[in-house]
Structure 1
Amino acid sequence: MATVLLVRHARSTANASGLLTGRLKGVHLDDTGREQAGRTAHRLAPVPLASLVSSPLERCKETASAIANAQPERAKVVTERGLVECDYGDWQGRELKELAREKLWKTVQRRPSAVTFPDGESLAGMAARAVEAVRRHDARVEAEHGPNAVWAAVTHGDPLKAVLADALGLHLDQFQRLHVDPASVSVVRFTAESAYVLQTNTHDGDLAWLAPKGRRKAPATGVVGGGAGPGH
């Protein structure tokens, strides 16, 4: 089973100003975001990435580029449309504090599976395509590089939460319970039978334990009693 590192893009200029950017072009990382991307890249540097996949939007590609540059052998960034931000339609480009007064806002928080944004995408549709994209690339990476391979997907908050909710077996209506910060790293392993969430929303900490160890099998998941940790 391959391992995927789910990375949210670092802070953008829109994040800092409280805008719901959606798919607007020309939104880049701010100074804080570039520092965040550098720290995340440093965390991932000891882990040789078999593949590095990114949403096509600038803020994700800039984060992915920082990660690629920190790899021992610079990784090629593959663009994946399935990881693009949700299409928020008429909500796109508006301030979050203004949107919080909209009637639909409560439904977004309490029953997201019922939400379709005006002239935009449904949250259920967003979740389905994000999960499909991650699982498809995970299967590709394992087929090409073996079950010990590690790869990274750089995407946005809502697609990332949707993938984590799916991995945890949660209904989409519970995905708002999850939190993913800019430049955070979450770790998931998929198998034919299930998915295992090893970490969520991490900002610090050594990730070298994820590096493939030759032909040794990846650490077991779902061990009765919890197991002995990643070193065993």
Structure 2
Amino acid sequence: MTERADLTPDTVVHLLRHGEVHNPEGILYGRRPGFHLSELGLAMAEQVGEWLQDRDITHLVSSPLERAQETAAPLARLKGLTPTIDDRVIESENWFEGKRFGVGDNALKHPSSWAKLYNPFKPSWGEPYKVIGDRMFAAIHDARDAARGHEALIVSHQLPVWVARLKAEGRSYLHDPRSRQCTLCSLTTLHFAGDRLVQISYAEPVGEMIPAKDKKAAFSTGGASEENRAR
């Protein structure tokens, strides 16, 4: 796209997915407290913080969950920022929260779970996609306003980030979780000219640190190179 002067991005909002979580039992932890970054996840957070430290980030926001705050911590330290905790960027609600999805004891194998899977559009197993998209964009707009002329960063979770991207691109919310372009510690970046969203870009600053099995899993798919989409 050839940009006119009035469409040159002047404010940027990054959506950062948190790093790897210590979860040896394969539980869908959702909004449950007590789930922290693994050693690898902490290393990811340090690397993405270093990757971003020279960016003009003046406003930092985090989901209230531990894994998000721990991911934000290195960048906060490097930039001298105090993260704003925002409930609007928290993980999505899910009926399967607390259930196991490991090998041999997958909650989806139990007939009692099937009744929750009848409507993929809502979705019937959790918080409606529209609600997720609306709350994420309310937080994005506030972050954009707080960082006018600079950059803001929001640390959130895979589904909220992906739904925000689908909303930004005007795409259907119905999707295969395995197709989400949102790996651990990936950045989905929204470029604004004034209040208008003019570009979306994507990057994986810690892509080489992500185990192959995680890239193929529904909760951590990706492996794509940086992508730009003009609005």
- Relative to the length of structure 1, the TM-score reads 0.74
Q: Quick one: distance in 2 between partners of 1:44 and 1:172?
A: 30
1:187 partner SS? strand
Q: Quick one: distance in 1 between partners of 2:164 and 2:189?
A: 11
Task: Extract unaligned runs of 5+ from structure 1.
Answer: 206-220, 224-232
Name whichever structure is richer in helix by fraction. Answer: 1
Q: Quick one: distance in 2 between partners of 1:174 and 1:17?
A: 26
Distance of aligned partners of 1:30 and 1:93 in 2 relative to their CA distance in 1, 3 Å threshold: same
Alpha-carbon displacement from aligned partner over 1:204-225 (angstroms, at most 9, x marks no partner): 69xxxxxxxxxxxxxxx949xx
Q: Quick one: distance in 2 between partners of 1:57 and 1:155?
A: 9
Q: Is 1:181 the equivalent of 2:183? A: yes
2:27 partner SS? coil
What is the alpha-carbon root mean square deviation over aligned residues? 2.5
Alpha-carbon displacement from aligned partner over 1:152-209 (angstroms, at most 9, x marks no partner): 100001101011112222121147432211112222213444441122445369xxxx
Distance of aligned partners of 1:135 and 1:17 in 2 relative to their CA distance in 1, 3 Å threshold: farther
Which letter does structure 2 place at the counterpart of 1:141? A
Q: Is 1:103 the equivalent of 2:105? A: no
In the TM superposition, structure 1's runs of 4+ consecutive aligned residues that sit over 6 Å from their partners are none
Which letter does structure 1 place at the counterpart of 2:154? A
Residue 121 of structure 1 deviates from its aligned partner by: 2.7
Distance of aligned partners of 1:197 and 1:128 in 2 relative to their CA distance in 1, 3 Å threshold: same
Q: Quick one: distance in 2 between partners of 1:136 and 1:46?
A: 23
Q: Quick one: distance in 1 between partners of 2:199 and 2:21?
A: 30
Percent of paired sites with the same residue:
21
Partner of 1:70: 78
Distance of aligned partners of 1:162 and 1:175 in 2 relative to their CA distance in 1, 3 Å threshold: farther
Taking the TM superposition and a 5 Å limit, the aligned residue runs for 1:1-232 are: 1-14=10-23, 17-71=25-79, 74-89=80-95, 91-97=96-102, 98-101=106-109, 102-103=113-114, 111=120, 113-117=121-125, 121-142=127-148, 146=149, 149-174=150-175, 176=177, 177-191=179-193, 192-203=195-206, 222=230
- Relative to the length of structure 2, the TM-score reads 0.74
Aligned residues: 194
